[in-house]
Amino acid sequence: MLHLDLADHYRSGSSRIHLLDARVKLSAALSFILIVSLINPLRLGGWFALALLFLSTLLVSGASGLGTGYAFRRSYLALPFVLGALALPFTVRGTPVAEVAGWVISREGTIRLFGIFAKSWISVQIAILLSVVTPFPDMLWALRALRVPKPLVSIVAFMYRYLFVLMDEALRLRRARSARCAQGGQRAGGGLLWRGRVAGGLVGNLMLRSFERSERIYNAMLARGFTGELKTFGRPAVAGEDMYLLAAWVSFLVLALVAAFSF
C-alpha cells in the first residue's frame, strides 16, 4: 500500500484550454519557453517583453478556470534555478554600483541575475499550467507524436510511475529503522557520524531493492511482449480550430520577441 499522495497535478475542467489537443498545448508551452530564453534582459525592450509574457501566463491561468494566481502562487519552484547565478553581480565586469567586503557589484551582472530569475520564474509558471491542464498520459503521447525518441518517452513514463513506489519503499525503510531505535520518547540514535552511516545504509539498501524490482518488472514486461515502446491508441488529427489558436499564440510570442529587440 502506498502512503504517498500519488494524485498528479492535473485538474480536470471543461475550459477551452483543457479541451485543446495535448500536442497543441505541449507545442505552445515549448515555444513559450524558447522565446523566453531568447530575450535579452540587458535591453529595456526585453523587460517589456517579459512583462507581456508574464501577463499572458495570468490570462491563460484565468482562462483555464484555475484563477489568475494559480501558477503564480506555485512559481517558487524557480528559485533553485537562480542559485547558480548569485555570483553574477560580482563576476560580470561592468559599471560598478556598490562594493561589499572588497567585492565590486556591477550593474550588468545585477541585471543578468534578475533577468535569469525573471525568465526562470515565468517559464516555470507556463510549465505548471501545462501539467495542470494536461493529463500525464496525454503528455507522454504528445511527446511521442512530436517525434521525441521512443526510449526517452519510455524512461519518462517509467520514472513517473515507479518514483512513487521507490519513495514509498524509502518510507518503509525509515519506519523500520525508527522501530529498531526507539528509546522511550528520547531521541534515538547517536551522533552525526552514526546518522550518516545509517543514512548511507538506507540508500544502499534502497538501491539494491530498486535493481531487484527493475529486473522483475523488465522480465515481466518481456513475457508480455514488450519491445521498448509503450503502445497507445492512435489519435485523430489536430482540429483546425486548435491549429488556429496555436498559430495565434506563436504569432504573439514572435511579436513579443520583436519588441524585446526593438528598444
**Residue 182 confidence (pLDDT):** 54
The 3-state secondary structure of 64-101 reads CCCCCCHHHHCHHHHHHHHHCCCCHHHHCCCCEEEEEC
What mean pLDDT value characterizes the chain?
81
Residue predicted with more confidence, 145 or 27: 27
Would you state the pLDDT for residue 14?
81
Report the Cα 190 to chain-centroid distance in Å: 38
Distance, first Cα to last Cα, the chain: 58
The pLDDT tens digits of the residues spanning 30-58 come to 999 999 999 988 888 889 999 999 999 99
Q: Taking a C-beta distance cutoff of 8 angstroms, is the pair 42, 48 a contact?
A: no
29-38, 73-82, 109-118, 214-223: the lowest-pLDDT one: 73-82
Return all residues near 257 (Cβ < 8 A) that are at least 6 apart.
Answer: 35, 38, 39, 49
Cβ(92)–Cβ(109) below 8 Å: yes
d(CA 241, CA 119) in angstroms, rounded, equals 30
Question: pLDDT value at position 249?
Answer: 93
The pLDDT confidence band at residue 209, using thresholds 50, 70 and 90, is confident
* Residue whose C-alpha cell reads 552514526 in the numeric block: 194
Range list of H helices, the chain: 16-19, 22-38, 44-63, 70-73, 79-83, 88-91, 107-133, 136-145, 150-180, 192-223, 240-260
- Mean of pLDDT values over 208-229: 81
Mark 153-186 as b/e (b = at least 16 C-beta within 10 Å): bbebbeeeeeeeeeeebbeeeeeebeeeeeeeee
Q: What pLDDT was estimated at residue 232?
A: 67
CA 115 – CA 50 distance, rounded (Å): 9
Mean pLDDT, residues 209-215: 82
Residue 119 has pLDDT above 70, yes or no: yes
C-alpha cell recorded at residue 138: 496525454
Q: What is the mean pLDDT of the segment spanning 227-253?
A: 82
Of 42 and 124, which is predicted with more confidence? Answer: 124
Band of the pLDDT at 177, cuts 50, 70, 90? confident
State the residue for C-alpha cell 548569485.
86
Beta bridge partners, 100, equal: 103
Taking only the tens place, the pLDDT of each residue in 127-146 is 999 989 988 888 888 888 88
pLDDT at 193: 78
Question: Mean pLDDT lowest for which of 52-66, 171-185, 196-210, 231-245?
Answer: 171-185
Q: Are 12 and 133 within 8 A, CB to CB?
A: no
- Least Cα distance to 217 among 167, 169, 173, 161 occurs for 161
pLDDT (0 to 100) of residue 234: 66
pLDDT value of position 202: 79
C-alpha–C-alpha distance, residues 37 and 29, integer Å: 12
pTM as predicted: 0.76
